[in-house]
Structure 1
Amino acid sequence: MMANVIAWLLVVAIAAYACAGGTDYGAGFWDLLAGGAERGKRPRWLIDHAMAPVWEVNNVWLIFILVIMWTGFPAMFQAVFEALWLPIALAAVGQVLRGAGFALRKPTRRLAQQRVYGAMFAISSLLTPFFLGSVLGGIASGRVAVGTPASADAWANPTSLLAGLLAIAATAFLGAVFLCSDARRFGAEDLIDYFRLRAWIAFAALVILALVALPVTRDDARYVWDGLTGGLGLLMVILAAVCGLATVLLLARRFHGWSRYTSVATVALAVLAWGFAQRPYLLPTSLTVSQAAGASHSMRWLVIVSLVAVVLVGPALVLVYRLDTKGRLEELTDTDTSAAGMPGDNV
């Protein structure tokens, strides 16, 4: 019973990171595609100001995931990091380069250095979710088990590749939806339609990739396929699709505040669908939740610590996100506004 509670805490933490961290990855994705220095000036200005207050906060979820894995399910932790160490290492390097690029780009005055740091940030925002998605794909496909040696097949297989691409599309969708709302919040009316179009494009890509994934998952990850096409897994998939369509309609009606919630629900429900499809296994079809659980006293303390974290850290995170969406964490200065310029300004 306690192991199942911890397992679902792990799934919820993954969903939270996919939504919170995914929004920032998506902003970086659109930063990469914004264009040259002049063409991309306005979108990158918005991305910098929208991300600045909370981009480091989102990594709390990643730390929570790692703590739950190595404390609650050490056998799973060992198997995953042994078989998939390369994509995990590449994702970690991407995290470091992404953070360094974002932190150093804004205060840098030389254009050449800005381009270098901006490229670090943008490219890492593309590669990191891909490698993280490929890790989940490798697990879902059943290629990871206790004692499995590291190999390219564990993460460079059809399910992993599609999972990585789906992760990129999902983050691009989240990033564009949130940037629509941020554009309105910062008074950048010209960027609302700019990011709304990109949100629609990202959702279309997400739908296409999901359709492509159907036959691939059926042939390459049969256990998870069966879970996604029946029971609670199927229900979560349907709800995710409904929330995705609702997001598209809300954007069309310019209800940008509500569209944030439905876009987050889309991604969170997709992660929950994977969790329901994979149960009772942590590593299909070789390691169940009960088999992977750590010592009983460790599990008890992990539950206690998790509850304390929810009580103490949870409200603080909610407050930070709430203040950020209200624009109260970082106000724009006249210098910021003039530096960004407006469409049609001579620079």
Structure 2
Amino acid sequence: MGIGLATVIPLGWGQWVAGFTDQSTDNAYLRADITPVSTQIGGLVRAVLVRDFERVHAGDILAEIDPAEYLAKVSRVRAAVSAAEAAIRNVDSRVQLQHRIIAQAQASIQATAADRDRAAAEHGRQKTLARDGWSTGQRLEEALAAIRRFEAQMIEKQAEVDAERQQLDVLGTQREQASAELASRRAELQLAEIELGYTKVIAPTDGVVNVSSVRAGQYVSAGTRVISVVPLPNVYVVANYKETQLGKVRVGQAVTIAVDMFPGERLAGRIEQISPASGSEFALLPADNATGNFTKVAQRIAVKIALTDVPEGLRQQLRPGMSVVSTIHTDTPAKL
């Protein structure tokens, strides 16, 4: 009989346990989404503005880093932005001046064209007079030379206008370069202002802080943890059930929770999530069972349980890390 029990019980134990209506485990603890608050810049801590275990609200200043260096950086970049804006205004003024120069050159062309027309008319008169014998060939040649001279001047002045218009293209390129420089300086200013804002370490959420990791006068670098914010009273339960207990467990089923700190108290909960893998799969060194020596061990799967009905006075006393015993009622319908 003893040999039979020693053989049958291990073989059927898992199925027997999986058939229980209520699945319990004491491998369960209260948890909370604790937020570590770290610095995003380096500098000397000027002040820590919260006491240990003090309640804070989102947006409260937890600590301050000396802003002198970052204020100077903002002032320097603002001056660079002003210089870049002045460079653009300078280019715009040169463009306006260039338009006036072009207009003046075009007016000069028109004046030369008028002189050419007058010379052409004189050439016509001299040609008629010379045919009738009233003018000399010399005057006719002078009138023709005047026409050619004014036409040459018009070509020269038109080339000047083309050169001045080409200068407009150069100024346009310079303005594009100045605009790019201004955009770069403005981006630097925005970054400098962001870094200046980082001198105030802000609470990201409501909750209670733990013991501060820094003190006034201490030098911190970017990424130094200053403090952590525990979002009390928003806690939940993470229960690690054996794989043999989860055959009938579904998201939404009711759970009864007993907190070790409060004997006799029973809290109501509901399964919110079931881990996608066992804890060993997330270990730093996952188990490798492809070896000659193998011992089968029941794996544990984390189950996240939300507290649904907790008296307010008791809720305020719950703390992450407390040990609990959770009991899943697999006969209750899953409520999503």
Query: Do both share a fold (TM > 0.5)?
Result: no
TM-score normalised according to structure 2 size: 0.20
Q: Which has the higher strand share?
A: 2
In our comparison, the structure showing a higher alpha carbon Rg is 2
TM-score normalised according to structure 1 size: 0.19
Answer 1 or 2: higher relative contact order, Cα 8 Å, separation at least 6.
2
Q: Which has the higher helix share?
A: 1
